[in-house]
Amino acid sequence: MVRINIPTVNVSDAWTPTPLRKQRLATRLLRLYLPCLLIVSLVLNIYYFTRPEPLTLGSTKPRPNSTGDKRLYTEVDFAQLTDLVIVPGHGVYQGSGSPLDESNWFLQDQQVGSVGAFMAHIGKAVEIVKEHDSALLLFSGGATRVGAGAQTEAQGYWAAADHMGWITGDVYRRVLTEQFARDSYENVLFSVARFREVTGHYPDRITVVGFDFKRERFIELHRKALNYPKIRFNYIGINPPGNIEHMANGEKVNAYDLFSKDLYGCSRRLKEKREKRNPFKMNHGYRRSCPEIAQFFDYCPKNPVQVYEGALPWLS
């Protein structure tokens, strides 16, 4: 049998920390870890006070207003703005209650279920102007529906963004409206004109935020009609839920095919659509405020797909 000798230690001879030894150990640990804790605390505080505030569609908290009727905002030198961000309007937010609730919107039957996408367009566009100090955001759309009253699509979009607390002081002066457009071509043309009204010049770059299934209409047709350089024209697409293939087919038949044969909307069918979408007989003043392109607003060539060949300021 193999015996294993296990050494034993007399309890009285074992090392035990004395109060003094405990105190010295605690002091060493404090000296070692305190600077680390202070550095971590400093980093966390810096991040907390400087972190970007994300836009969240899940919040319906109204914008903060700590000064009664006065709003805190950063003033802007509009002449220094170079980039145009356009959000084409669709439904009309009626200004009360959560804009995430479809019952607070005036919608056509085919638009039911699309409010989440409308709000995503709005939120994405606001994020862009927050990230780019040289950008101006225009919500574009006129008073197109009798049932919605004289409230324009553009006003409704602005009010929805404001209700969500997204139009904060840093972008308040760079989120405006264009309130006369009656279709997607006018969304682009009139927004370019409105940019000229606000800044005194035309945009160096354009970004449109809308439905992804409408991308080709804006890039291939409306941009082409304006003879705007493709390299300076961007489109961000966000689709609503549902059958996108069905929506894309409707887009092709009811819009893309029509504009592909009539770039400037001069045919009877597109003209009648515009007239129907102006029940309050509103008229823009862009010919007067944009004299450089005054003739462009009335351009209706004999060949309906003939691109305008006159001088355009964004080409110079």
Cβ neighbour number for residue 286 with a 10 Å cutoff: 22
Looking at the chain, the whole-number percentage of residues with pLDDT higher than 90 is 77
Cα angle 98-104-110, degrees, rounded to a multiple of 5: 125
Beta carbons of 128 and 139 less than 8 angstroms apart: no
Average pLDDT, the chain: 86
Q: Which domains does the chain have, with CATH numbers?
A: 80-315 (3.40.50.620)
Cα distances (Å, whole numbers) of residue 250 to 109, 113, 247: 14, 16, 5
Predicted confidence (pLDDT) per residue in 277-316, tens digit? 999 999 999 999 999 999 999 999 999 999 999 999 999 8
SS3 105: strand
SS3 17: coil
Who contacts 90 (Cβ-Cβ below 8 Å, separation ≥6)?
A: 111, 114, 118, 141, 153
What angle do helix axes 115-131 and 153-163 make, rounded to 10 degrees? 70
Beta carbons of 242 and 121 less than 8 angstroms apart: no
Predicted confidence (pLDDT) per residue in 183-218, tens digit? 999 999 999 999 999 999 999 999 999 999 999 999
Cβ neighbour number for residue 114 with a 10 Å cutoff: 22
* Predicted structure pTM score: 0.80
What does R_g of the chain's alpha carbons equal in angstroms?
Answer: 30
Say which amino acid occupies 180: F
Task: List strand residue ranges (DSSP E) for the chain, in order.
Answer: 83-88, 92-93, 105-106, 135-140, 175-178, 205-210, 233-237
SS3 215: helix
User: How far apart, in whole angstroms, are the C-alpha atoms of residue 129 and residue 126?
Assistant: 5
User: How far apart, in whole angstroms, are the C-alpha atoms of residue 23 and residue 21?
Assistant: 5
